[in-house]
Amino acid sequence: MTTPDQAAVLVDADEHRGGTGTARFVLRKIVEAVVSILLVIVLFFFLFRLLPGDPVATMIRDRPTSPQQLAELRQRMGVDDPVLVQFGRYLWGLLHGDLGESYLFTGRPVADMIGERLWPTVLLVGSATLLAVVIGLWLGIRAAWRRDSFFDRAQTGIALTLWSVPQFWLGLMLLVSTGGLFPSRGMHSPDAAPDFLSQTLDVAHHLVLPCVTLLAVFYAQYMLIMRSSLLGEMNADYLTTARAKGLRDELVRRRHAVPNALLPTTTLVFMQLGMVVAGAITVEAVFSWPGLGLLTYDALHGPDLPVLQGVFTVLASAVVLMNLLAELLYRVLDPRVRTS
């Protein structure tokens, strides 16, 4: 995990060297992202196919398997071919959207399994991030503007405490303490009416607990980042100027201070998406939310290595793409970087 202080370093340390045109900058970033995704593919191939020594032996370690089944499984996964041949075949499959076949659900294409689990995760991560950003930024702005006030101290204290809370535990506590007020598992109730409105309300009802759990830890992050970012602007000359013009305190904050402080925060929101995704794995496991996290959790108990490899490759690539987006967005948002 990165703390806000460390995360702030990331943005600071980002290259602000001038001299390159926007086109070259965009191109360089895209090439870097492509290289990163290739590295992700190689890394997870190494982790799941080579590191276990014999992936087939790892997968069957807790269950009785006949020599026949073993031979068939080895043949299906192609583990007896040379490594480079295996990797070549894997890459060729990737280009065609083929992520291999599941082991637990015999022969099911991993890409299909990921496809049908994608949308619940996007819904959960998306709604939690949106709410966390709105709440976090709002509280962060309030806290920084009234620095060292009771509100600031209380908010920072709460945020730091939530920071130390493992997400899955918060989820378990919510489950125990709300006692049946919200559904505890899954995404749909079997008895919900089939019309669109009832279905939507039903999903929303199921979404409440997992979303609140994810939100509670991440809003704290955004709040701390926004707070420190705004504190950095508080003594800037342009704020003195704005006040000298006779602007009301609220206008100074809203029109002058906040937009500048938002710059580093915006990119950090994207950069933290990787952590939100990682958090979603445990939260989905707690609430049996049928997304990629629950798929991971179930696959871990095999272990279903092809599924894990597929899910992690997809998640990591998504995080790389989000970072690319963040870097490009920063360029658009910050005129200083654009013109330099």
Partner 1 sequence: MTTAETPRQIAWKRRRDGLARSWQGFAGQKPALIGLILLGATVVLALLLPLISDESGLDVTKATGGPLRPPSADYWLGTDNYGRSVLLMTMWGSRISLLVGFSAALLSVVIGTLIGITAAHFGGWVSATLLRFTDFFLVLPSLILAIALSAVLPKGVGTIILAIGLTAWPSTARLVRAQTLTIESRPYIERAHALGGGHLHVIGKHVLPGVMPLVLANTTLVVGNAVIADATLSFLGVGDPNSVTWGLVLENALNNGAISAGAWWNVLPPGIAIVLVVLMFTLVGRGLETVFNPRLKK
Q: Which is nearer to partner 1, 252 or 291 (CB)?
A: 291
Which DSSP state fits 222? H
Neighbours of 86 (CB within 10 A): 17
Choices 17-25, 127-135, 246-254, 316-324; region in contact with partner 1 by CB under 8 A: 316-324
Residue 273 one-letter amino acid: L
Closer of 66 and 177 to partner 1 (Cβ): 177
Q: Which is nearer to partner 1, 258 or 281 (CB)?
A: 281
229 touches partner 1 by CB under 8 A: no
Q: For residues 67 and 60, is the Cβ–Cβ distance under 8 A?
A: no
Residue 299 and residue 285: Cα distance in Å, rounded? 11
> Shortest Cβ distance from residue 106 to partner 1 (Å)?
20
Residues near partner 1 (CB under 8 A), total: 58
Handedness of CA 315, 270, 136, 166 (dihedral sign): positive
4 binds partner 1 (CB under 8 A): no
**What's the closest the beta carbon of residue 279 comes to partner 1, in angstroms?**
8
Contact 99, 109 (CB under 8 A): yes
Q: Which stretch binds partner 1 (CB under 8 A): 98-106, 114-122, 239-247, 304-312?
A: 304-312
Taking CB under 8 A as the rule, does residue 83 contact partner 1? no
Between CA 77 and CA 74 the distance in angstroms is 5
| C-beta closer to partner 1: residue 32 or 247 | 32
Per-position x/- string for 14-33, each x denoting binding to partner 1 as judged by CB under 8 A, each - no binding: ------------------x-
Is residue 285 at the binding interface for partner 1, with CB under 8 A as the rule?
Answer: yes
By C-alpha distance, which of 261, 254, 265 is closest to 236? 261
**Residue from the set 4, 11, 44, 144 that interacts with partner 1 by CB under 8 A:** 44
Asked if 94 contacts 81 with a C-beta cutoff of 8 angstroms, the reply is no
In angstroms, rounded to a whole number, what is the distance separating the alpha carbons of residues 140 and 134? 10
Give the ranges where the chain is alpha helix by DSSP (H).
4-13, 22-45, 55-59, 67-77, 83-95, 110-145, 150-163, 167-178, 196-233, 237-244, 249-251, 258-271, 273-287, 292-300, 305-333, 335-339
Please, which of residues 161-190 interact with partner 1 by CB under 8 A? 161, 163-170, 172-173, 175-177, 179, 184
Residues within the interface to partner 1 (CB under 8 A) = 1-3, 5-6, 9-10, 13, 32, 36, 39-40, 44, 47-48, 51-52, 55, 58, 160-161, 163-170, 172-173, 175-177, 179, 184, 271, 274-275, 277-278, 281-282, 285-286, 296-297, 300-301, 303, 305, 308, 312, 315-316, 319-320, 323
